[in-house]
Each structure stands twice: as C-alpha cells, then as structure tokens.
Amino acid sequence: MSRKVVSSIRGVVAVLTLNDAARRNALSRDMVRDFHAALDETAGARALVIAADGPAFCAGANIDDLRTGWMETADPALDPAVLFRRIDEDPRPVVCAVGGPAVGGGFELTLSSDIVVAAGKAWFALPELGHGVIPNTAVATLQRNVGFRRACEIVLTRRRIALDEAVAIGLVVRTVPAEELLDAATALAADIVATAPPGAIAAAKANLRGHAGTDWSRVLRSPVDVPKEEWQEGLDAFVERRSPDYSRFWDISASRTAHNYLSRCKTITGAPS
C-alpha cells in the first residue's frame, strides 16, 4: 500500500506531499500516521514545505474515520490535532504550497504552517458545523491569523473563501502561477534558512506562538464538547447525500437553555429550587 504522505529532499528543504489524490487527499488515520513518519525521516532538513498531489490540497477529514468515533477515541499518534500541534511547534520554517481546495482539516493544516503560498485554484472553507462537528484546531488558530470576529464569521457561515480574499485577510502571503507553486514555496523556505541561524528562527517562532496564546490542551479535548447525537446525524446525512435534520436538537437546546437560565436566577436571588 502506498504511503499517504511521501517525503523528498530539495537541497536543505524537505518536501512532504499529501499522496491520496483519489480521495482528494482527505485527512485519514493513515495519512496522520504517515505524516508523522515523514516528519521523523526528514528531521535533518532545515525547512519544510507541505504540498499535495492532485487537484485538491486536502478535502478535510475522512468521513469514514469520523463516523467510527475518531473524535471519541483519538490515539495521540493518529489524532489530527496532535499532528497540527507538532507542525505548529516545529522549530523550522514551515511553508504550505496550496494549489487547490483546502477544506476542513486541510484548512487547519495550512493554519498550522508558518507561511502559505498559493496558486489560482486554491480556496478555503470550514464546513464542519454543517456536519455536526467543529473545526477544533481552527477555532484556536484561525483567529490568531484573521481576528476573532472574522474567525467567528468564517466558522459559523462555513462559506468558501476565494484566493483573492484569502490574500486580503492574511491567510495567504503570496500567490504564484500553478506551474511555479512548488518551486516558489521551496525557494522561499530555502531563502529563510540561508541567512538566519536555527536558534534564532526557533526562538522567533516560539515567541510568536506564545504571544498568540493557543491553548493546545483545549484544542485536543474540544471535539467531545459536541453532543454525539448531533455529529452522528450530520455525518450520516453527508454519507447518505441528504440534508441533516437538526430540528430536534434545537428543541432540546431551547428547553435546556431555559432551565439553566431559571436555575441561575434562583441561585442569584436565593429562591428555592
């Protein structure tokens, strides 16, 4: 079986390529495992470029894995959030080369990198809420890139962000023609490490992260904040190619909200329950 992430070396830069084009490079357990292996075997490289084979950068999490309880029983070695944290905290420069859709977990992968270079057919979206799940890494890492209110709008509306808007709001720092994408990303990574020492680069990244204040412990536990019945309905509907029916959950939520409000009022006033 071919690896879902393959590595190669270009001078001092390691290129890690998502290699499951038939499934639009969907982020699966196998891909997470192979990504860790690729990072291990390229530990001697001075910089990293993350690229993808095929027309899609990454179509998001593998639905089959999600439906079998991936969020509930996440092995750290197979947990996407652990992988994103590892990429985020890698002391080397990490450049994403995005030439197609970066959706859900694919979008989160770009947010875990330092710099994103993109080509004309790239776009970004976080559709998770419509499937009854949350983009648990993006809720932390998106707002440090675009600010709280814009992050709320992107997560809640789940709309597609075209490349020109991605540049305007700071998700992408440079656009190039598609045929130049990998060369441009690799050259950028090589330029960074050519004239700066590793300790200074690592310190700059660590302090940038520290000031951004991402709480990774919360990121790792946040998937279980979503009621299981909601994500089961959302993911089942996606696979069955129908619209999800969330109406019963809204009814339950309204009843629960009213009960919690009354309980708080009684606590404040000292009234008997």
Domain ranges of the chain: 5-221, 227-269
5-221 topology per CATH: 2-enoyl-CoA Hydratase; Chain A, domain 1 (3.90.226)
Report the 3 state secondary structure along the chain.
Answer: CCCCEEEEEECCEEEEEECCHHHCCCECHHHHHHHHHHHHHCCCCCEEEEEECCCCCECCECHHHHHCCCCCCCCHHHCHHHHHHHHHCCCCCEEEEECCEEECHHHHHHHHCCEEEECCCCEEECCHHHHCCCCCCHHHHCHHHHCHHHHHHHHHHCCCEEHHHHHHCCCCCEECCHHHHHHHHHHHHHHHHHCCCHHHHHHHHHHHHHHHCCCHHHHHHHHHHCCHHHHHHHHHHHHHCCCCCCHHHHHHHHHHHHHHHHHHHHHHHCCCC
List, for residues 180-214, the tens digit of each pLDDT value.
999 999 999 999 999 999 999 999 999 998 888 77
Active site residue 128: yes
Q: Which of 128, 153, 179, 229 is catalytic?
A: 128
pLDDT digits (tens, 9 = 90+) for 48-106: 999 999 999 999 887 777 777 666 666 888 899 999 999 999 999 999 999 999 999 99
